[in-house]
Amino acid sequence: MQKDPKIIVALDFPSEEPALALVDSLNPELCRLKVGKELFTRSGPALVKSLQARGFEVFLDLKFHDIPNTTSAAVAAAADLGVWMVNVHASGGARMMEACRTRLESFGADRPLLIAVTVLTSMGDDDLRGIGIDVSPAEQVSRLAALTADCGLDGVVCSAQEAPKLKAEHGSGFRLVTPGIRPLTADKGDQQRIMTPADALRAGSDYLVIGRPVTQAADPLAALEAIHAEVAGL
């Protein structure tokens, strides 16, 4: 396997059958896979094991957000599954994030990367105002990223638009995982804060989360290879 593929394909499928049909057309040297709420709720740990058995590393994207005791137990369950990355919502607060980080220490060097979601890439100014947050998405992302870094987590999920500022503030070791990636020819869909794959990496993204531009493509492997070629060498 290539040491550190930058592309994470989001397996947003309703069940195991179409997910595995797509996965069997992909190449683990070019990407990792993200399992989110819909697929995990249907197919659970067995599906994660099937993906790992096919040579793919898995980002378990369940965006945990609960009291510290519950959330830290959930990330430990993810670590038991042997996933590469797991995430929580930064808005769960410092005590929650610290409890998760501490709990994962017992898994040693093989522990999953622990990443916090800042402001969802589907949200803009109006959405934030609607939940009582009167600063821009970029300001709220900075604030939550600083809290995440203070808690010793490995990085954040953010939009690539915020990446230059966060890299400057937190350095290269703080991973930036960026959804809302759209090749120039792809539909924006429900995403608001978007960027092309190459621009996102130039902006400082470490990992590109890409769903529909690959999974809904007529030829998913060709779409993945085209994105891989676009970002090769960046």
Ligand X SMILES: O=C(O)c1cc(=O)[nH]c(=O)n1[C@@H]1O[C@H](COP(=O)(O)O)[C@@H](O)[C@H]1O
Among the listed ranges 21-29, 89-97, 143-151, 210-218, the one in contact with ligand X (CB under 6 A) is 210-218
Among the listed ranges 41-49, 78-86, 120-128, 219-227, the one in contact with ligand X (CB under 6 A) is 120-128
Residue 199 annotated to the active site = no
Which residue has the closest beta carbon to ligand X? Answer: 211
CA 78-170-76 angle, to 5 degrees, is: 10
Q: Any contact of residue 195 with ligand X (CB under 6 A)?
A: no
Residue 66 annotated to the active site = yes
> What span, in angstroms and rounded, lies between the C-alpha atoms of 68 and 127?
26
> What span, in angstroms and rounded, lies between the C-alpha atoms of 231 and 199?
9
Among the listed ranges 46-54, 102-110, 195-203, 208-216, the one in contact with ligand X (CB under 6 A) is 208-216
Binding residue (CB under 6 A) for ligand X from 93, 133, 212, 226: 212
Distances (CA, A) of 170 to 30, 34, 128, 145, 174: 27, 25, 24, 9, 6
Site string for ligand X, 75-104 (x = CB under 6 A): ------------x-----------------
Q: Any contact of residue 211 with ligand X (CB under 6 A)?
A: yes
Residue 63 annotated to the active site = yes
Q: Any contact of residue 12 with ligand X (CB under 6 A)?
A: yes
> What span, in angstroms and rounded, lies between the C-alpha atoms of 158 and 91?
13
User: What's the closest the beta carbon of residue 108 comes to ligand X, in angstroms?
Assistant: 25
- Residue 83 neighbours by CB under 8 Å, 6+ apart: 48, 57, 58, 59, 60, 112
Q: Residues 3, 24, 63, 190: which is the catalytic one?
A: 63
Distances (CA, A) of 181 to 63, 125, 160, 171: 19, 19, 8, 22
Helices (H), 35-162: 37-53, 68-80, 94-105, 125-130, 137-150
Instruction: Provide the binding-site residues for ligand X, judged by CB under 6 A.
Output: 10, 12, 36, 61, 63, 87, 117, 120-122, 157, 179-180, 189, 191, 209-213
Catalytic residues: 61, 63, 66
